[in-house]
Amino acid sequence: MTASGAPRASGLAGRGALVTGAAQGIGAAVSRALAAEGARVVLADRNHPAIQRLAEDLRGCGHDATAVPLDVRDSADVERAVTAAEAAVGAVDVLVNVAGVLTTGPAVNTGDDAWAAVFDVNAGGVFRCSRAVARRMVPRRRGVIVTVGSNAAGVPRSGMAAYAASKAAAAQFTRCLGLELAEFGIRCNVVAPGSTDTPMLRGMWSGPADQDATLRGDPDRYRVGIPLGRLAQPDDVADAVVFLASDRARHITLHDLYVDGGAALRA
């Protein structure tokens, strides 16, 4: 609220925003939410047809949206995509790192290639994209970087060692980056979702009973359920991202915001 009692504006109208992993799930929801706030959104993903369709839908609703293909595993491609983004919308004032992959299975059965592949996207992608955008933000002395992590970064998960470790690495990198960039007025934060109704989550399920098991928890795997008794929707996560990207969060940096219905039992 302002001194007059009126709600404070988000400050996102007209700002350039780059969203990785924008083709579906949380990335698509974040893109829509930023566009609804008036941001000029660049949708980035390896799935170019999907982001082109989303960009067309957003433009059809009167929003400014551009699709840029991106492979976050390739530093040269990241630089090309960020350059293309700034050519399309001007300065990228907001970067949202959403691109991620999930591999499950016992840690002792995880091969070197599988481990490296998960880290290359979930941690390496955050590093490459944040580095490229931050280098451009520093001379402008403004900007926001939000990394979408996971509550698995802070809570051990059986069968998810590579994923959890990669998300922990991405979260800690984002906080360290935020410490280095604070003097330039650049904020870096993490949003950590729990179980969210996305294609990634549903890909882990074998049948309808799996949703109930996710809500109840699994004592045999030392996993608690979700106290609020519901799965997150992508929009729940997107709302948290938009808040941290906005001027309403202008004094928040190095923060890790859990959006998991209480599943991590955070103190």
Q: Which residues are catalytic?
A: 163
Asked if 10 and 37 count as a contact pair (C-beta separation under 8 A), the reply is yes
Q: How far is CA 148 from CA 87, 190, 204, 220, in A?
A: 25, 6, 19, 28
Cα–Cα distance measured from residue 164 to residue 107, given in angstroms and rounded to the nearest whole number: 11
194-226 burial: b if 16+ Cβ within 10 Å, else e: bbbbbeebeeeeeeeeeeeebbeeeeeeebebb
Which DSSP category does 8 fall into?
P
* All residues at 6 or more sequence positions from 113 whose CB lies less than 8 Å from its CB, including other chains: none
Token pair of 136 as six digits: 């451009």
Asked if 259 and 232 count as a contact pair (C-beta separation under 8 A), the reply is yes
